[in-house]
Amino acid sequence: MSLEKYKQEVKKILSEYSIKERALLPCLHIAQEKCGYLTEEIISFLAQELGLPKVEVYSVVTFYSMFSLEKQGEYVIRICVSLPCYLKGSGKILEAVKEELNIEAYQTTADKKFTIEPVSCLGLCDKAPAIMVNRDIYGGLTPQQAKNIIKEYKKIK
């Protein structure tokens, strides 16, 4: 999404808020989703538009795990590492995905296609061990099944 188009989206969101600062999270969500990360440009723009110090915007961005300052892959693979999934072998799922993509946790592949994000409970404990690839949910996985899922995504051009 171009910055111009983003600015229009932000204006639309702001029109629904009487106190501009309250709109920060919704504005950040859109940028994160559409651009894959929060650029310096976006942060400066939001600080100005919402009347916040830039450092305040940065502190909010870095507080929440769904926002990132570095470009994330086209597909963010969220792997639950909380206890219920851990009991069902999420450690091996994480290893399998790392092996398949040849990167470490929290890293992005060189082609910017995949990012591995170990995350806290996703509320999928009845399907443990579970992962999410963007919005799609996969549960009850074996390490091999996890690898196969990633292989399928690799085929998408």
Partner 1 sequence: MKIVLKNIRKEGYLPGINSYMTQGGYEALKRALKTTPEEILSEIKKSKLVGRGGAAFPTGLKWEFTRKSRELPKYVVCNADEGEPGTFKDRFILEKDPHLLIEAMIICGFTIGAKDGFIYIRGEYFKAYDILQKAIDEAGTNNLLGRNILGSDFSFEIHLYRGAGAYVCGEETALLDSLEGKKGQSRVKPPFPTFAGFNNKPTVLNNVETFVNIPEIVLKGGEWFSQIGSPSSPGTKLYCLSGDVKAAGVYELPTDISLQDLIEKHGNGVCGRLKAVLPGGVSSNLLTSSDLNVKMDYSSIQQAGSMLGSAAVIVINDTHCMVNLAGRCIEFFDYESCGKCTPCREGIKRAREILTNIAQGKGELSDLALLKELQEVMFDTSRCGLGQSALNAVSSCLEKFYGEFKEHILKKKCKLGICSMGKDF
Binding site residues, partner 1, CB under 8 A: 19, 21-26, 28-29, 50, 59-60, 63-67, 78, 81-84, 86-88, 119-128, 132, 135, 137
Q: Residue 13, CB half-sphere, CA atoms under 13 Å: how many?
A: 21
Please say which residue, 89 or 145, places its beta carbon nearer to partner 1. 89
Is-contact 133 75, C-beta < 8 A? Answer: yes
CB of 110 to partner 1, least distance (A): 25
Q: Which is nearer to partner 1, 63 or 156 (CB)?
A: 63
Cβ closest to partner 1, residue 19 vs residue 156: 19
What single string gives the DSSP state of each residue in 11-28?
Answer: HHHHTT-SSGGGGHHHHH
Q: How far is the CB of 95 from partner 1 (least distance, A)?
A: 11
Q: Going by C-beta distance under 8 Å and a sequence separation of 6 or more, which residues neighbour residue 63?
A: none
